[in-house]
Copies of this chain bind each other. A is one copy, B any other.
Amino acid sequence: MAMASASTGRPRASGSSLTGQGTRADILAAGAALFCTEGYGGTSTHALAAAAGIRQASLYHYFGGKQAVLLELLLGTVQPSLETAAQLLARDEHPAVRLWALCVSDARLLAAGEHSIGSLYLLPELADERFAPFHERRAELETAYRTLVAACGVDDPGAGAALVLALVENVILQRRRGAALAPERIAEAALRVLALDPSEAAASGPALLADLG
């Protein structure tokens, strides 16, 4: 089967693959950078390939097209959030503490990476039905938030979850404009917006977070 050793075939034209993870990863990295800065429609397959260090036609060996690159980026971005959410839902700490941890975790994910990959969430082109798989996962994440908010005893969990997500998601725009608030700060604000006392969650939250791995 010749398991992908990622360095077979004709050698790469430029020795740019510094991460050494293979061409496919290079394309994804290039897509993350370009889609975030130039937009989706503003990024041509040519530019995408050039940024990845390959020719335009070679792109089609790895992906069906631009939209396949974006979809994979999107799915890869929600997945860590979903996994953390699932872990936290199965726990039995106080709901407010778990919600705090989820907020911190997601805010960190959105703040991480060279180019804020969460920026992809904001692309208008995401309305296209080809990205429906992403929206499904995203809806699952929102459900997780709603479940935790409901467990906190908030009267309107739907609205509460929307407010909490608003604070967390805004990290994306904050990063775009310069510097973002500290994740812990956002998590505290999230509890405050639900009319909950953030002090105890902020105290025992870090331990829970460290326990997740």
Contact = CB atoms under 8 A, between A and B. Distances in A.
Interface of A: 35-43, 119, 122-125, 127, 159, 162-163, 165-167, 169-170, 173-174, 176, 181, 185-186, 189, 192-193, 195
A124 to B, nearest CB: 4
Nearest to A173: B169
B159 A181 contact: yes
A193 B42 CA distance: 37
Each complex incorporates copies of this chain amounting to 2
Choose among A41, A122, A162 the residue with the greatest number of B CB atoms under 10 Å from its CB: A162
Given A167-B163, A167-B167, A173-B169, A39 B125 contact: yes
Nearest to A180: B162
A131 to B, nearest CB: 13
Contacts of A159: 181, 185
Nearest to A170: B166
17 contacts: A35-B124, A37-B124, A38-B125, A39-B125, A41-B42, A42-B124, A162-B170, A162-B174, A162-B181, A163-B189, A165-B170, A166-B166, A166-B173, A166-B174, A169-B170, A170-B170, A189-B193
